[in-house]
Amino acid sequence: MRIWLKNLNESHISSVVEIEQLCFRDPWCEQYIRETVMRSTVTAKVAEYGKDVVGWVVFEQLPHGQVQICTVGVHPERRREGIGTFLLFAAIDSLRTKKLSHLMADCRESNTAAHLFLAANEFVAVRIIREFYTDTGEDAFCFDYWEQDRPVNRIAKYLQAQEQKDVGHQG
Ligand SMILES: CC(C)(COP(=O)(O)OP(=O)(O)OC[C@H]1O[C@@H](n2cnc3c(N)ncnc32)[C@H](O)[C@@H]1OP(=O)(O)O)[C@@H](O)C(=O)NCCC(=O)NCCS
């Protein structure tokens, strides 16, 4: 059986509430889910396997051309089957279609699976927000994904300039 990606609708709400509870220590409640997905800037997709919702993703287009992954979760019994990546692709696809600059995603310091998942999908850790999660005092790790025109960081630029200088000297 195949996994299908669908826009979230009313029939999916109870399943995504359950997935949130299975995935996070501070899950979104039904009311928060409803309020969030109603915003015109927000896209919510579910992954369906047969009649079962096995994962979901919510992302939001921000004013300066970025897309924020607000939540992404896969049912614990269906992990490591590529479903999380499939859901991320929905956000990457939206980035491409709308020609936006980059995707952003945050996760807890202790969420090693999320760190590895994002890194496996070419996200790069770019900053840390100290004590962001008030329940545990944990830091948030912020990751970015650039489809194109990724800014070269200053150290890379410096090394590149040094290399060119060395080549010049040799010549
Ligand atoms: C993070 C999460 C969404 C990943 O979903 P998933 O469907 O298991 O992810 P995928 O199968 O697409 O994984 C893709 C790759 O990410 C990496 N990865 C994902 N989960 C991993 C884990 N627990 N340990 C190590 N690597 C992992 C692997 O490289 C994996 O490829 P592989 O299975 O071929 O080795 C899922 O674990 C989840 O729902 N976690 C709880 C919610 C959460 O933390 N969300 C925040 C995400 S930013």
- Name the pLDDT band for 171 (thresholds 50, 70, 90): very low
What are the residues facing 69 on neighbouring strands?
A: 59, 105
What's the domain range around 102?
3-170
Pocket test for ligand 1, best of 77, 117, 138, 141 (most atoms within 8 A of CB): 117
Among 68-72, 120-124, 163-167, where is mean pLDDT lowest?
Answer: 163-167
Report the DSSP pairing between strands 102-108 and 124-133: unpaired
What are the residues facing 107 on neighbouring strands?
A: 141
Measured in Å, residue 103 CA sits from the centre of ligand 1 at 17
Residue showing tokens 């010549």: 171
Helices 13-23 and 30-37, axial angle in degrees (round to 10): 120
The H-or-E segment that residue 72 falls in is strand 66-74
Measured in Å, residue 9 CA sits from the centre of ligand 1 at 25
Instruction: Specify the CATH number for the domain of residue 63.
Output: 3.40.630.30
Q: What is the tally of structural domains in the chain?
A: 1
Kindly write down the DSSP assignment for every residue of 106-160, as one continuous string.
EEETT-HHHHHHHHHTT-EEEEEEEEEETTTTEEEEEEEEESS-PPPPHHHHHHH
d(CA 67, CA 89): 12
Measured in Å, residue 78 CA sits from the centre of ligand 1 at 10
Pocket of ligand 1 (CB under 6 A): 23, 72-74, 79-85, 105, 107, 111, 113-114, 116-118, 120
Helices 112-120 and 83-97, axial angle in degrees (round to 10): 50
Q: Which atom of ligand 1 is nearest to the CA of 75?
A: 39
Q: Which atom of ligand 1 is nearest to the CA of 105?
A: 48
Are residues 58 and 70 in contact, defined by beta-carbon separation less than 8 angstroms? yes
Per DSSP, the three-state class of 28 is coil
Q: Which residue owns the Cα nearest ligand 1 atom 35?
A: 80
Q: Which residue owns the Cα nearest ligand 1 atom 24?
A: 113
| pLDDT tens-place string over residues 111-135 | 999 999 999 999 999 999 999 999 9
| pLDDT tens-place string over residues 6-53 | 999 999 999 999 999 999 999 999 999 999 999 999 999 999 999 999
Looking at this protein, which amino acid is placed at residue 27? P
